[in-house]
Amino acid sequence: MTLDFLRGFSFFTGVPDSQLKALCNWLYDQYGISQCHIIAANEGNAVALAAGYHLATGETPVVYLQNSGLGNIVNPVASLLNGKVYGIPCLFLVGWRGEPGIHDEPQHRFQGEITMGLLEQMEIPYFILEKDTALEEVQLKLEAYQALFRQGKQAAFVVRKGALDYEAQDKFMGAVVGRYANRIAGGRFALNGREYTLARNDGPNHLHGGNVGYSHRVWTVEEAGADRAVLTLDSPDGEEGYPGHLQARVTYALEGSTLSIHYEAVSDRDTPCNLTNHSYFNLSGQGSGDVLAHKVQLFCSAYTPAGETSIPLGAIDPVEGTPMDLRVPTPIGAHIDEPFQQLVWGHGYDHNFVVDGQPGALRPAARVYSEATGVGMDVETDSPGMQFYTANFVEEGRKGKGGAVYGFRHGFCLETQHFPDTPNQPGFPSATLKAGERYDQTTRFRFFLLEG
């Protein structure tokens, strides 16, 4: 086995040479790559040596770039970019000299921040290998990344836009939506004896918080780290027609292969509140086409049928005996075009499913996987419902990040949530956030590799 799947992948190392040697020895044992470890101080030497070695032997060298001065800020980036451009299959261990403590100095932290920013702009994946990182953790990460390259190409699993394109887009890709995710019939609801009018931004209905919902606001970064980010938003009383001054807080935390999203909010008046994440996933890699071959399993025995404009009809129906029954792994495309009225009106799946189990308790909601890459995703939530949406309204030719092109059914969403139109549906679990109380909801996405 070669290390082609690691082409363009980088580490930032602040580790002793002994740990680096142990990592290289493990790579040799695991993948049979050569013990040729090229140590170079600039990208020209590194790429030249790596290319020559690869052409002569057909094997994958390990290149360790030692950069300890501010004058070499761009060298790691240039080396990685050259490796991608020239197609040289190298494992780049990018960092600075291995003397203990040197990377705690301000100039090296500054250099690292600049380098990581440039890597992100060029969409070169990386992670930070600290001096106390266990070798076993590195091994697990490498094995996980191998799945991205089973088809000989780099893959990203979230269909996405650029950093501040959230403000301009209309498909909510990757965004937190609110104040009320999903639809509210007729753009109106009554609360505490008063009627409130909202924007009708989805035909006759209100969708995802209105014309300038939370998805189109720039949130404040309260905390940002390697595995945790906290965003906050201040939503004034009357914004988009909603009552109450609401303060929202969303925490993203990465632990191993699990991403958790924790939503919190408080309001000084009673208000509907329903926050979710609207990421579109394609586990075969963004830009790889439709997701109809993905297999989906929903831990949902019931759903809320909707009318022609996607507003629930008020019933909670069993999925059994219908194309909505996805309780066992089923290709997304297996029934999506059947002449079942719910699928006809939704142009595919765009429905709220009732998650089995007790709302408020974290429990399984979905499992989806791609046999093409061997990558799977489990979803857990404490929300009562989940919208399963198959990108039925994403037009062909929509451009995404990194030049990827998206189209009809090129992704799927699993939006954990309160039920749609709950403010007008007394039979649904309440979505009213009482003044002074705390909105608290968690969703976890765990990624895994299929066995075999």
Active site residue ranges: 278, 415
Residue 213 near residue 177 (C-beta atoms within 8 A): yes
Q: Quick one: DSSP state of residue 312?
A: B
Residue 51 φ/ψ, nearest 5 degrees: -65, -45
Lookup: tokens for 182 = 């999903």
117 contacts: CB under 8 Å, gap ≥ 6:
none
Q: C-alpha distances in angstroms, 47 versus 3, 44, 302?
A: 16, 5, 57
- Using DSSP, state whether 417 is helix, strand or coil: strand
Q: Are strands 258-267 and 350-354 parallel, antiparallel or unpaired?
A: unpaired
Sign of CA dihedral 416, 421, 425, 431: positive
Burial 409-425, CB ≥16 within 10 A → b, else e = bbbbbbbbbbbbbbbbb
Residue 385 φ/ψ, nearest 5 degrees: -135, 175
Strands (E), 170-227: 176-177, 183-184, 188-191, 194-197, 206-207, 220-224
Which among 111, 109, 31, 97 has a CA at the least distance from the CA of 64?
Answer: 97
